[in-house]
Every structure is written in C-alpha cells, then in structure tokens.
Amino acid sequence: MSTQTFGSEQAILYQYGSLSLCVSSEADERAVALLQQTTYGTDGVRYRQTGQEVKIHQLHHPYFFHLYIQQELIGFYCLDQRLIGFPTASFAGFYGRYLAVREDYQGKGYGRLLKTVAVNYINLHLPVPHLLYSYIEAKNTRSMAVSLRQNFTSVAQLKTFMFRRFSPKVDARFNVASLTDPARVLELVQAQYAEYGFQNFLNINYQSQYFTLEEDGQILAGVQANPILWKLVHIPGKLGPLLRNVAPFLPGLRRFFNPAKQTFITLEGVYIAKGREELLPTLLESVLAHFNAHTAMWQIDENDPLTQLLNHRRMGLLSQFQPDVITHVMVKSVDLPSTIIPGKDPVYVSNFDYA
C-alpha cells in the first residue's frame, strides 16, 4: 500500500491485473455520473439521488477512492474527514459516503474491496485517535455485513420522521437567520447539542439555509433545512408500478409522492428555546412553504430527547415516523480514550451527510 502524500494526483493502493484502486483528494470527473446512475435501497423503495455534482465539491476534507479496470471507472467511495465533538473532547472523524459500483460489476465483491482498502488506508496513514463512521439502513444487509467484517459496531439507531403539510403557510415570525445573524445561529446550535456525541456543525448555515422564528429580536426556534431530490425507480408491492405511473397525474397525491421528482426538505440542528416547544411544527411548516414543498425528512437518534416532540399530535395527522425504517450508526474507533464511549450520548445527525 502506498505511503506517499497525495494531492490532486492519484496514489495506487491496490493493483491486481487490470484492476487498480487509487486514492486522491479530488474526485475523478466521471464519479458524478456513476453516483447518479447508482440505485440505493435493497428492500422496499429503491431510489437514485441527485445533486452530487454540487455536494461532491463541498466536502470538508475528502479522501476519494477510485476503482478502475484499466482506465475505466467502475467503483467509487469517499471518507470525509472532519472534527467530531463529544461532551468532553473532540477527535478526527471520517464519514463514509458515496459507495457506488457500476451496475454491470455489482455482486463481485468490489464494494467490499473499496471499503476495506479505504478503511485500512486511514488506519495506517492518519494520526490516532480517530474514528470512522457511516449511516447504514438495517435492511441494507450487504453493507451491514461488510461493516461488521471490518469490526464496525452499531452504537445508535436512527429513526426517520416525515413532517407533512398539504398547504403549508409561512408564519409572520419566520426569518432567514443565516443572512441576518449566522454567528448567533451557530452559537445556539452548539449550546443546544453540547451534550451530544458526533457533533459536527460544519454545515450549519450551509447555502444560507438556517431558518428561525423570532419575536422582538429573540430567536425562539430554528432549523437548518436543505432541499433534496430523489428519483424513485422501484416501489414494492402489487400496486407499486401503478403508483409510480399514476401518482404524478393526481394533484393531491403528487404533493407527497412524485416518483420522477421526489422532493424532500432535510433537517438538521433544530433549536428550540426552553418552554417554546409548541413552535416546532410552526417552524417546519414555514420551511415547507418557503421551499414550496410538502414533506420534510429528519433522521434522528431514537434516544434524542427531541423525539418526544415529534410524537405529539400537534405535528399533524400526516406526519409520522416511518415504520420499520431503522438506520444504524456504524462506528470503528481507533485508540479513543476509555472515557469516550460512542453512542453513550444522543448522536447529532447531519442532514448534509444522510442526504
């Protein structure tokens, strides 16, 4: 395995015949097309993500791993380095994302090869202590198996909450705080999550999209909200094909379900002033109206105290936790102090990562 310091040039980490696996600080320009052609989900709804051409250039400190046959890109993976905070200390963290293998090469162990070589590279060449982590849906049995073989463990389980409004309206107190007081926003979020694990506030104020409710200059509630677009390619069940083909033509249903253009607003860094918990649905409805959307998605640790607010009837009849959708926070820690136990505290979840 190469030990050279890499820049824009690729360093070869593994080679066997015409197969080579390289690492670089810059992504091969063909990686975006590969990611956009990759279908996610192994059981149930299967989908393709969009927007990678923007986000791939906005990662903090990425290590891109490319798998080639001769000069043809057939696989891709990324470990993005950032500082991860816990209540008493912070450490280097490497978040795994963008695992993709070209469809005609799937089922041959190339995904496992990518992750294994990438994890070994970080463990051999980056200072300790550090940890590697990723979010893996429980139903994604292949990815779970690969992670377990690499001695990753599940330290927390995330639930997915869908907030919906049929005709959302903007509250008069609504404000784009990223434009007016981004420093204050960051301070409030940092204070709100000071006792959480996996703190990562790099993307608070991302694209000036932290929104608040304010009274007399005081921030009462706030959230980072980022729109995403998925394309649903498979819907399970006997009615799946019918829903995929008919839903776009039914105005009421299309607001919440449009397979060719499934829009969500993803949430992160929710701040609620003490005693003003009733404002959460008002804030989220205003965010939906701002983006002309009808559904927000929030991945949250099942042990997060904020889950109690999401179970309240004020969130609305259309809103709910997705049944049978569990995502594991898979972690491999290297030489962390014994006083740091990942998963002991609620996990802070970044929407920039999970979407």
Q: Give me the CATH number covering residue 270.
A: 3.40.630.30
Q: Which residue has the tokens 């607010």?
A: 309
328 shares a domain with 205: yes
Residue 105 in any domain: the answer is yes
Secondary structure class of 35 (helix, strand, coil): helix
Distance separating alpha carbons of residues 282 and 263, to the nearest angstrom: 20
pLDDT in tens, the chain (355 residues): 433 334 457 899 999 999 999 999 999 999 999 999 887 766 667 677 788 888 999 999 999 999 999 999 999 999 999 999 999 999 999 999 999 999 999 999 999 999 999 999 999 999 999 999 999 999 888 889 999 999 999 999 999 999 999 999 999 999 999 999 999 999 999 999 999 999 999 999 999 999 999 999 999 999 999 999 887 766 665 555 555 556 555 566 566 666 667 889 999 999 999 999 999 999 999 999 999 999 999 999 999 999 999 999 999 999 999 988 899 999 999 999 999 999 999 999 999 998 8
78 shares a domain with 198: no
Residue 155 in any domain: the answer is no
Residue 182 in any domain: the answer is yes
187 shares a domain with 59: no
Distance separating alpha carbons of residues 100 and 120, to the nearest angstrom: 18
98 shares a domain with 179: no
Distance separating alpha carbons of residues 29 and 26, to the nearest angstrom: 9
The reported pTM is 0.90
The values of phi and psi at residue 54, to 5°, are -95, -55
Q: Which domain holds residue 108?
A: 11-134
251 shares a domain with 310: yes
| Two structure tokens written together for 273 | 């002033």
Residue 168 in any domain: the answer is yes
Q: Which residue has the tokens 């008069």?
A: 172
Residue 279 in any domain: the answer is yes
167 shares a domain with 123: no
> For residue 278, what are the CA distances in angstroms to 224, 275, 308?
18, 8, 12
The number of domains in the chain is 2
Residue 299 in any domain: the answer is yes
223 shares a domain with 177: yes
| Two structure tokens written together for 271 | 């701040």
